[in-house]
């Protein structure tokens, strides 16, 4: 499902398109989407499709369309320090973006049916932590994944502030999902062909909101044919941070504040995102139509011939100007500086401690 947003040439263009189409509406969600390149979660031979607004599936590996993930992230109303449970956590792409918002004192758990997908998710998480420059812009709540059927979670498990289910939920399992939530918590799941947001307003009180029409594969029902009894899924314990971890978080936070103050004193402005030198071709849109047909989403742009004629010369002028600006920007484009890394490496500390503060990252 997907196709409601124009394809991008890179991750930033994809996010620009999602913002323009109002799927991404808040700064926290935008920052998380920009920090993690969607293509990193694709197998190499399929990366050409990573920036299209389409779902992708290969064997047991599956990614929902970007417009779905952005609606989910917005609906979850994530805040630092919350607990999150991802049912059908898949590649870990969504869990990692959520972890950037939850911060070091949040809880980030995932349940995935297929053990091979868990291994894939762990590889992608390790790659992100070790190689991504954007990792140092955040304090990360690292996701923990367990293998099992999310319909067999142990009844003595803790409840969560936020829950997402990435498979179609049958009506008979709605109460089961609701009971995973704390009072005040938010559950987002596909229910009866609609992406649905449910807020628990009291011990037995709920508010339900339908977000958009979707088509998800249904939850796989537990199979007890082998043993005749349920295989309970035990979620990871909610562990207290070690003193060593707390020290690393505090030191990194202090260094970031120092960098911010230094930048503020030099420029009079706060830290800004590094400039993106690729420019996106912008076209004026008259009307957007999204059509649901056979559980697929198609998007079309409709404009009248007179509108096109009137704007032809203007479009050509815009294109010429953008090409000139793109050529100029290519001459001055430098890779962004990782200020936190530079600062840590300049400290008068033993090398092992510096590497610990940088999470032993390769870059």
Q: Would you please indicate which residues are annotated as catalytic (active-site) residues?
A: 64
Q: Please name the residue that has the structure tokens 């909610």.
A: 238
- Is residue 256 within 8 Å of residue 264, measured between CB atoms? no
Q: Report whether 40 contacts 128 (CB < 8 A).
A: yes
Task: Give the residue among 63, 52, 65 at the shortest CA–CA distance from 7.
Answer: 52
Token digits for 118? 């868990």
The Cα 64–Cα 77 span in angstroms is 19
Number of neighbouring beta carbons within 10 Å of residue 43: 11
CA distances for 54 relative to 7, 64, 65, 211, angstroms:
9, 7, 4, 18
Q: Which segments of 78-227 are extended strands (E)?
A: 83-87, 107-112, 144-147, 160-165, 181-191, 194-202, 205-213
Angstrom distance (rounded) from CA 290 to CA 139: 38
**Which of the 8 DSSP states describes residue 302?**
E
Sequence-ordered list of residues with C-beta below 8 angstroms from that of 219, at least 6 positions apart, any chain: 88, 150, 151, 165, 167, 168, 169, 170, 173
Interaxial angle between packed helices 243-267 and 339-346, expressed in degrees from 0 to 180 and rounded to the nearest 10: 110
């Amino acid at each position: 499902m997907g196709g409601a947003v124009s394809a991008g040439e890179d991750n930033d263009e994809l996010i620009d398109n999602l913002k323009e189409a109002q799927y991404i509406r808040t700064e926290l969600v935008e920052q998380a989407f920009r920090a993690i390149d969607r293509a990193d979660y694709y197998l190499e031979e399929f990366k050409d499709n990573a920036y299209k607004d389409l779902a992708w599936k290969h064997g047991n590996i599956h990614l929902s369309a970007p417009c779905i993930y952005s609606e989910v992230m917005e609906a979850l109303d994530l805040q630092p320090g919350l607990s999150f449970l991802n049912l059908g956590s898949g590649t870990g792409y969504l869990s990692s973006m959520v972890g950037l918002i939850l911060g070091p004192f949040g809880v980030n758990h995932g349940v995935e049916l297929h053990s091979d997908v868990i291994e894939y998710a762990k590889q992608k998480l390790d790659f992100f932590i070790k190689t991504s420059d954007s990792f140092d812009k955040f304090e990360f709540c690292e996701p923990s994944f367990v293998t099992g059927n999310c319909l067999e979670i142990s009844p003595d498990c803790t409840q969560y502030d936020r829950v997402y289910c990435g498979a179609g939920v049958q009506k008979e399992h709605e109460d089961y999902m609701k009971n995973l939530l704390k009072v005040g918590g938010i559950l987002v799941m596909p229910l009866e062909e609609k992406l649905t947001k449910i807020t628990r307003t009291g011990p037995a009180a709920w508010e339900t909101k339908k977000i958009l029409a979707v088509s998800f594969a249904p939850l796989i029902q537990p199979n007890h044919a082998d043993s005749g009894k349920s295989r309970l899924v035990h979620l990871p314990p909610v562990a207290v941070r070690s003193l060593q971890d707390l020290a690393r978080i505090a030191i990194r936070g202090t260094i970031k504040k120092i960098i911010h103050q230094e930048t503020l004193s030099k420029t009079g402005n706060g830290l800004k995102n590094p400039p993106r030198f690729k420019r996106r071709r912008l076209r004026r849109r008259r009307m957007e139509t999204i059509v649901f047909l056979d559980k697929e989403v198609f998007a079309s742009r409709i404009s009248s011939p007179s509108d096109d004629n009137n704007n032809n010369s203007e479009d050509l002028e815009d294109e010429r100007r953008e090409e000139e600006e793109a050529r100029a920007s290519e001459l001055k484009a430098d890779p962004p500086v990782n200020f936190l890394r530079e600062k840590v490496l300049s400290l008068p500390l033993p090398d092992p401690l510096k590497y610990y503060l940088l999470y032993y990252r390769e870059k």
